[in-house]
Chains A and B, each alone.
Chain A
């Protein structure tokens, strides 16, 4: 579904990705790991065509998206659902309006239908009681859940993209979010999660890419990750006090 072919990207003089190549199939559950600032979020933005690579080619379902117009990219983006870091809820809208945002844009639902649909979505993510609250009144965990509900409101995505979905959350809330992520991709949707939290990545993904200094140092299974002999990967795991046998 996603193919990166020798993709490079830089922010001004700072190289973030250098000749990165990988492919992800539609139903795969993949985690991209790495420290902050190594370009994990950049990969998500490149997949969605929010930014364009300096060189290399990106394919979504076989279509090259590098030179697509915003109109053409709109169709590509509808294949994905994304939850950005911290949720990215619209501050000026309450929870109901945030979740209903896409529905108002794309459907001609009556207020009653809209209300029912939003309630159902919030029930799925377990925050139905927060319907009238403003984003500033939500806890970190609730924020992410509402963002997840909003991301699946208007259409059924082929793949879920998550940008650090559990960062800043306590272990209980992180666990709940991980479970929710797994539940949502149960109906054959793929998922791509970028995170620096190995424990959470291990809970939801089956394949792992490790990113360091603009390159992918490891691409493999859970077993390959935890038994990795690559010094950078080992250092990353030990810095997080992660032990393969734990």
Chain B
């Protein structure tokens, strides 16, 4: 019975995530809802991404400076900070922040709409809940997570610069030239593609968990927790899979 339920849940999730994307092309287009969601997902997460990214870049730079100075390769700090942030840590950390803040918000909001019969009310009024509620959330995540990632990457690199120059006493010019070096197509492409996929994963999971809420306040708590946990796990797994695919496509040898 459990296996059957699990397969049925998986099928429902799959259908919702497909319908959520497919609904973009159908009328009516809920622009106001999209803007509201973009504001919540983007502007609302901006300060958290800023703070976390800054300290992430500083910590990374600090660790690398300490380790590289032992083998006399401190001048590579900028290079390694740049590659790690742009290709890996920036997209993943921003996605995790996004899942924790925006994903949990989506799941709890939709969950309380289910429990308060607001989703039923939409259906009675002839409004498709997937189009009205899910599509704007998926689209806003796909748009806002890459933007937040770019901002986060920039702030992390700046944080790394601060530590490299003012704490580790490295040359600022060398740091920036190393950063410029890693700004090639391969690295930028590898880092840029991930947030789109992560945004889609987070919004689909969160909307699904929210819309499948059952059983009052405890059910709502369960749905929100599941949304965040499932998003975290899938982000990490998807990151590995994407990294493997991108390395292959971009011709990196391992």
Contact = CB atoms under 8 A, between A and B. Distances in A.
Contacts of A88: 116-118, 120-121
A154 B121 contact: no
Interface residues of A, number: 23
Interface size, B (range): 10 to 19
Interface string A15-32: 000000000000000000
A101 B116 contact: no
Nearest to A44: B120
A77 B124 contact: yes
A90 B125 contact: no
A45 B117 CA distance: 10
Interface in B171-192: none
Question: For A105, A154, A163, which residue has the most chain B Cβ atoms within 10 angstroms?
Answer: A105
Contact of B126 (A74, A85, A163): A74
A96 to B, nearest CB: 15
Contacts of B118: 88-91
Interface of B: 28, 36, 112, 116-118, 120-121, 123-128
Nearest to A147: B121
Interface of A: 45, 48, 50, 70, 74, 77-78, 80, 82, 84-86, 88-92, 101-102, 105-106, 154, 163
B117 A101 contact: no
Contacts of A48: 120, 123-124
B235 to A, nearest CB: 28
A245 B50 CA distance: 71
Contacts of A84: 116-117, 120-121
A189 to B, nearest CB: 16
